[in-house]
Structure 1
Amino acid sequence: MAYPFKEILQRFWGYTSFRDLQEDIIESVYLKKDTLGLMPTGGGKSITFQVPALAMDGICIVVTPLIALMKDQVHNLLKKGIKAAAIYSGMRREEIAITLDNCIYGNYKFLYLSPERLETELFLSKLAHLNVSFITVDEAHCISQWGYDFRPSYLNVGNIRKLKPNCPVLALTATATLLVVDDIQEKLGFSKKNVFRKSFKRENLAYKVEYSENKFNRLVELLVQHSGSGIVYVRNRKMTKELAEFLTRNEIPASFYHAGLDSFVKDKRQKAWTENKSRIMVSTNAFGMGIDKPDVRIVVHFDIPDSPEAYFQEAGRAGRDGEPATALLLYSKTDVSNLKKSFTNAFPEKRFIRTVYHHLMNYLQVAIEDGIGRTFDFELGKFCKAFALNVVQANNALNILERSGLIQNTDTRENNSRLYFLAGKEELFGFQNQRQEYEELIKTILRSYSGLFSSYVYISEQTIAGRTGLSNEQVYQYLVNLDKAGLVKYIPQKKTPTITLLKDRVPENIITISKSIYEEQQERMKRRVDAMLYYISSDIICRSQILLAYFGEKKSKPCKICDICTSNGQQKDLSGSIRKAVLDKLNRTGSTNINELIRDLTYDKEKSMEVIRFMADNGDILLEDKQIKINS
């Protein structure tokens, strides 16, 4: 059977062939099979649902928590002449209704949704009228409580399947352990297991770890040694600016990026970095999703990430062009203690969490048995000051309340302003003739944005100001006036984050924080933190092998390019020698006690134990009740 996939790929994206796995996943979805695709960062996940959606009848629902990614993909699809829309928290009911009606009656091909939108009454009432081709679940690891970024709202996808039982599901993720892979398929109700997996091994990416108590100066030295474009990841927003300024003073052109910046500023900085006008981007983890820059030569983590999943995804943004690249983790003693401390802070006492909930409801002035569905502007700093709360612990308490399904904490600074033209072109033309000062503004908006007469469109006042010669304040005021005149619907960008209540207020003493939300998540976070500490402390096991083993690739070979593999040979030879000695002993004896084995080996006990532990994790040997044998 001839499929139209390559024709669609070339027509809309200009490519003549697919990357590894893409066409296999596309064909599976096209044949209406539930499908899970595991593709590393930069593997071209969006193509795997956008191509089959264009080949199939109906609209593809795309569930993703990434508002910035939604906006970017909708914008790019619209530029290609493909009808696409997005719905997420913070939008007005009127906007949502218009968008859904357009999807029902307007021959749209894509509807992007944040997961919490799936359970709203408005969406569910419209869903029955949508001709859905299939459902795409991006960042699918978020549906698993075993994953590193579990979000309860993702469980709503399973409920949608019951309403659309004949619609297949495509789940996509860049990072998932074997346990998470199975859990994703179970939670999404796969009719049978169907996984397409691309090896996480990156042949061209050299993983390195370096200890330094003077990281600022060491970073400068490293960036001088490594030419080309780069990203430096840090934990907090303040550090992005400080470090970027420090690098620039040391003749390394750098800019900074975090979620709190204005959308226009973020877009401008991202564009300058993408076009190599700025060499280094210093950023929080807000930077990277949807970034398609293949020639990044180095990614540096200036702080220790709190999980191998996060590290692997961010480090993987280096060297997507297949050319040699470096992923370097720079750390100090303070970083190790901070990572351990962040784990402790992430799970404040349950009594404190209930107190935060009580204070929050009073702060928002919500009565008992009231509040469901209401959204409030919310500034964490003001809230904590009002009740003398520690900001870090209060924020983590809110995160647990969110995972418990009570609230949703949304940073609406990701939301651009939106505009919708109520008046037709003739009415606008008549208005321009009467009010000449609006002529250039209206013409510029119509030239710059499409779809304004059928739905809300994201706009940037700064961009419009730059193209008209007006000030930002003038553009804002003119749009407000047009809204008052009934010619447009204008929703300015909000600078304040919001809290949405997902349930009515209840007395705090009856709030249930389940074991799966608290104790089990706490234990999983500890395992991930321990895995990162093991990764940075190991000095004889190949870095790539450690990461691959974590994700279930047990039989990988040394990469030969990481800092361990390329050391003077002593450490690498030591690891190989210990491994050979262990296997020789087991081949002779069949099995042995671990203490006896380590005593018989002529190597350092700690290093011997590290190799044995890794061999067990890697599936080479079996370790049960201190007895070791070869895994046949």
Structure 2
Amino acid sequence: MNEFQAILTKYWGYSQFRPLQEEIIHSIAEGKDTLGLMPTGGGKSITFQVYSLSRPGICLVVTPLISLMKDQVENLQKKGIKAMAIHSGMSMQEVRLAFDSAAWGDFKFLYLSPERIATERFRERLPQMKVNLIAVDEAHCISQWGYDFRPSYLRIRELRELLPDVPVLALTATATLKVEKDIQQQLNFKSENVLRKSFFRDNLAYLVREREDKLQYLLQSVQKAKGTGIVYVRSRKLTREISDYLRKNKVSADYYHAGLTAASRTKKQEDWKDGRTRVIVATNAFGMGIDKPDVRFVIHLGPPDSPEAYFQEAGRAGRDEKKAYAVLIAAKSDLLALKKQVEKAFPPVDVIKRVYDALGNYFQLAVGFGKDQILDFSIGDFAGRYNLPITTVLNCLKILQREGYLELTEELDNPSRVHFQVERDDLYRFQVANASFDGFIKLLLRSYSGLFQNYVGIDEDLLAKRANISIDVVYRFLNHLNSHKIIHYIPRKKTPFIIFTRERLEIGRLKISKENYTDRKNEYQERIDAMLRYSTSKLKCRSQLLLEYFGEKGSVRCGKCDICLERNELGLSQLEFDNIARQLKEYLHEPCLFEELIFKINHNEDKIIQVIRWLIDNGKIIHRIDNRLEWRQEV
């Protein structure tokens, strides 16, 4: 057993790595900058965690997903591994203390949101950190052509200049060949080095069903399927409505979206993971960091807006390598809505400027001020105050973010936090002088450890139950201790944040570049078109369509998707079908009589007839009024 396997067994209890994990670890161990492409659920985080634990020093992990960051830190801490996270939901004092701890406190992992890299405090403390690896999670975010580009990710290049001898591991589940190249250029790889696992999923059957009565088909599918599953929908409102519909029809179901409290989300996740809930109906907020290998089906009610998103979400089915299904149920209205999505996602430039100007007024920021300010943001309140649709506001903010004017964090549910600001001797003197607080202080110290070293998350409800007092009395104690500077108490807050990465500009100086508007709009149109092709194709294997999008050419038919199953019923081999279809397409560039085709194509007549009938049934060949056949051109 080598050192990496020993660490894997000690902390994770596995005797063997999954495919590609060990290859990536050895690549970093040789000092090579590495881009690891692993499908959802492939165990990306284990690669940098195992490597870093095998070396002295700390691993810097850059990720944009605060919720995932917090989950991974929590999981590492449960294993007895010292890890911490620094993100935009923390106070300046918390950040200062965390950076000091990372520099002097023997931590193994420091998770950072990308905007933290530019801060003065981080630059001051970085020389004291013995960094053994820079891990970049969700690495497609650094690519201009990635579907979720974040300008703050470009800051990672500065880390390379500050730590020239530290290798970089970039990880993502979905990247086209164009994005792969761009990631390596943006991260200044010393030489190209991509390690990838094929995106082909042998155990996953992709199915597309065009149904106007989507709910009825969904219910039939869920009732017929075995095991647990996920149903993805496009809005928070639909999560509740559809889970209610399933429950009314005696299906164990619950709903999930980012607007729920952290406690509620955790409970729903655990109920589903442990089998108490069979089906979870969710927005795309569900799934990140949730490792449930025995998901038997993932159903989408309507297509998402990119093959990347679909592949990642559908890929949560069948991680145990057993048979599973990824089903897309789409009505004609869904496909029409998807076609209109491009115009919605890219509002007119004058609307974007209006939103930016309104944002400055909303926060009462003067022109020339606001740089690096982190501000609580209620998108609903803002949209209502300025009479703007929420989706328009959100899409404008995404464009302003790509342009580098601001950062919009995900909605974050931060628990209340406490840190003792006095030494133990001073605290004892305060307790003696203020006997009425003595019992509560002792309760705090009994309930939570590390209060003198770091900010610690607390639960006011739990404290109230343990002390047998009301929650209001707990708040009163905490606020009183805070006012006497015995503790620093940060009450729980649930909100997204806006970070102004530049000072507020006059509206006339605000520039929306061709790269971040027109070029990105064209890229988005290409992703929408690819998703529409996947959703409406009647001829090509679903798996092949996805693999070709991600650059895997020449893959074989999967034999399991709805297209392949229909073809299999013809009794023709893939080679025979494809050969006949190719010749038909070649000869039908002009309308042709059936008898002429039979004469031209060198193949068994019965088999030619079967293929022609199949292509007519699936809309690829048109049977005209004049009895001629014509190949339908792609629209």
Q: Report the equivalent of 2:19.
A: 20
Q: Report the equivalent of 2:124.
A: 125
Q: Deviation at 1:583?
A: 6.6
Residues 337-363 of structure 1, C-alpha deviation per residue, up to 9 Å, x if partnerless?
221222211001111111111121122
Aligned residue for 1:490, secondary structure, equals: strand
Question: Residue 589 of structure 2 is aligned with which of 575, 595, 599?
Answer: 595
Q: Deviation at 1:428?
A: 6.6
Q: Deviation at 1:570?
A: 5.0
Mapped to 1, the partners of 2:287 and 2:428 lie a distance apart of 42
Normalising to structure 2: TM-score of the pair? 0.88
Q: Report the equivalent of 1:314.
A: 313
Mapped to 1, the partners of 2:428 and 2:267 lie a distance apart of 32
Q: Report the equivalent of 2:280.
A: 281
Code of the aligned partner of 1:595: H
Mapped to 1, the partners of 2:112 and 2:567 lie a distance apart of 52
Q: Report the equivalent of 2:146.
A: 147
Residues 395-436 of structure 1, C-alpha deviation per residue, up to 9 Å, x if partnerless?
211111111110112244343333323356677788497546
Q: Report the equivalent of 2:624.
A: none
Mapping for residues 301-450 of structure 1, pairs under 5 Å: 301-423=300-422, 431=431, 435=437, 438=440, 441-442=443-444, 445-446=447-448, 450=449
For structure 1, list consecutive stretches of 5 or more residues without a partner in the other structure.
587-591, 613-625, 627-632
CA contact (8 A) 1:260 1:413 kept: no
Code of the aligned partner of 2:538: D
CA contact (8 A) 1:578 1:611 kept: no
Mapping for residues 538-549 of structure 1, pairs under 5 Å: 538-549=537-548
Q: Report the equivalent of 1:251.
A: 250
Q: Cα 1:346–1:606, aligned 2, differ >3 Å: closer, same or farther?
A: farther
* 1:519 equivalenced with 2:518 (yes/no): yes
Q: Which protein shows a greater Rg?
A: 2
Code of the aligned partner of 2:292: K
Mapped to 2, the partners of 1:414 and 1:580 lie a distance apart of 57
Code of the aligned partner of 1:438: F
* 1:37 equivalenced with 2:36 (yes/no): yes
CA contact (8 A) 2:415 2:458 kept: yes
% identical aligned pairs: 47
Q: Deviation at 1:526?
A: 0.6
Mapped to 2, the partners of 1:466 and 1:180 lie a distance apart of 52
Mapping for residues 462-611 of structure 1, pairs under 5 Å: 473=472, 475-567=474-566, 569=568, 573=572, 576-577=575-576, 579-581=578-580, 595=589
Q: Deviation at 1:468?
A: 6.4
Q: Cα 1:89–1:191, aligned 2, differ >3 Å: closer, same or farther?
A: same
Code of the aligned partner of 2:342: F
Q: Cα 1:17–1:569, aligned 2, differ >3 Å: closer, same or farther?
A: closer
Q: Deviation at 1:489?
A: 2.3
Q: Report the equivalent of 1:207.
A: 206
Mapped to 1, the partners of 2:472 and 2:576 lie a distance apart of 70
Code of the aligned partner of 1:127: L
Aligned residue for 1:564, secondary structure, equals: helix
Q: Deviation at 1:437?
A: 5.2
Mapped to 1, the partners of 2:136 and 2:9 lie a distance apart of 25
Q: Deviation at 1:373?
A: 1.3
Mapped to 2, the partners of 1:226 and 1:426 lie a distance apart of 64
Q: Deviation at 1:196?
A: 1.0
Q: Report the equivalent of 2:193.
A: 194
Q: Deviation at 1:208?
A: 0.9
* 1:299 equivalenced with 2:298 (yes/no): yes
CA contact (8 A) 2:254 2:280 kept: yes
Code of the aligned partner of 1:323: K
CA contact (8 A) 1:540 1:572 kept: no
Tell me the matched-pair count. Answer: 603
Q: Cα 1:99–1:439, aligned 2, differ >3 Å: closer, same or farther?
A: closer
Aligned residue for 2:321, secondary structure, equals: coil
Aligned residue for 1:239, secondary structure, equals: helix
The 10-residue stretch of structure 1 (338-347 or 280-289) with the greater mean CA deviation from structure 2: 338-347
CA contact (8 A) 1:440 1:468 kept: no
Q: Report the equivalent of 1:176.
A: 175
Q: Deviation at 1:459?
A: 4.0
Q: Cα 1:248–1:270, aligned 2, differ >3 Å: closer, same or farther?
A: same
Q: Cα 1:156–1:260, aligned 2, differ >3 Å: closer, same or farther?
A: same
Q: Cα 1:441–1:544, aligned 2, differ >3 Å: closer, same or farther?
A: farther
Normalising to structure 1: TM-score of the pair? 0.89
Mapped to 1, the partners of 2:219 and 2:587 lie a distance apart of 49
Mapped to 1, the partners of 2:190 and 2:77 lie a distance apart of 34
The 10-residue stretch of structure 1 (203-212 or 119-128) with the greater mean CA deviation from structure 2: 119-128
Mapped to 1, the partners of 2:242 and 2:234 lie a distance apart of 12
CA contact (8 A) 1:211 1:332 kept: yes
For structure 2, list consecutive stretches of 5 or more residues without a partner in the other structure.
602-607, 621-632
Residues 68-117 of structure 1, C-alpha deviation per residue, up to 9 Å, x if partnerless?
11111111111222111111113222111110110111111111001111
Code of the aligned partner of 2:447: I
Q: Report the equivalent of 1:97.
A: 96
CA contact (8 A) 1:303 1:330 kept: yes
Mapped to 2, the partners of 1:334 and 1:351 lie a distance apart of 29
CA contact (8 A) 1:116 1:154 kept: yes
Q: Report the equivalent of 2:55.
A: 56
CA contact (8 A) 1:30 1:52 kept: yes
The 10-residue stretch of structure 1 (335-344 or 96-105) with the greater mean CA deviation from structure 2: 335-344
CA contact (8 A) 1:86 1:113 kept: yes
Aligned residue for 1:122, secondary structure, equals: helix
Residues 439-472 of structure 1, C-alpha deviation per residue, up to 9 Å, x if partnerless?
68425632xxx54332223444456567666665
CA contact (8 A) 1:405 1:502 kept: yes
CA contact (8 A) 2:66 2:410 kept: no
Code of the aligned partner of 1:392: T
Q: Report the equivalent of 1:159.
A: 158
CA contact (8 A) 1:540 1:571 kept: no
Q: Deviation at 1:128?
A: 2.6
Aligned residue for 2:59, secondary structure, equals: strand
CA contact (8 A) 1:259 1:414 kept: no
Residues 216-261 of structure 1, C-alpha deviation per residue, up to 9 Å, x if partnerless?
2221111100121111111111111111111111111111111111
Q: Deviation at 1:283?
A: 0.9
Aligned residue for 1:495, secondary structure, equals: strand
Q: Report the equivalent of 1:618.
A: none
CA contact (8 A) 2:62 2:112 kept: yes
Mapped to 1, the partners of 2:4 and 2:423 lie a distance apart of 38
CA contact (8 A) 2:37 2:173 kept: yes
Q: Cα 1:210–1:441, aligned 2, differ >3 Å: closer, same or farther?
A: farther
CA contact (8 A) 1:579 1:611 kept: no
Aligned residue for 1:595, secondary structure, equals: coil
